[in-house]
Amino acid sequence: MDKLKEHTALVRKRCLSDIETGDDGYKCWWPLHGSGSLNAIDLRIIADYLDELNKDWDEEVQKL
């Protein structure tokens, strides 16, 4: 596994316990568990992960 894939997997694992479903049905990152410091790359990984998790729900919402 290359370094970026390893780092991506680590960030996803670290943030998973802080992902909640909002009132609108979308998953969001709600960091309550002390994720430590995050840099721009980490935040992009989390944003991409949320987009992936919300893909199916967003497609349903867009049909309305």
Cβ pair 57, 25 in contact under 8 A = yes
CA distance 50 to 46: 6
pLDDT at 46: 96
Q: What is the pLDDT along the chain (64 residues), one digit of tens a residue?
A: 699 999 999 999 999 989 999 999 999 999 886 667 889 999 999 999 999 999 999 999 999 8
CA distance 43 to 49: 10
CA distance 6 to 13: 11
pLDDT at 35: 61
Locate the domains of the chain by residue range: 3-63
pLDDT at 25: 96
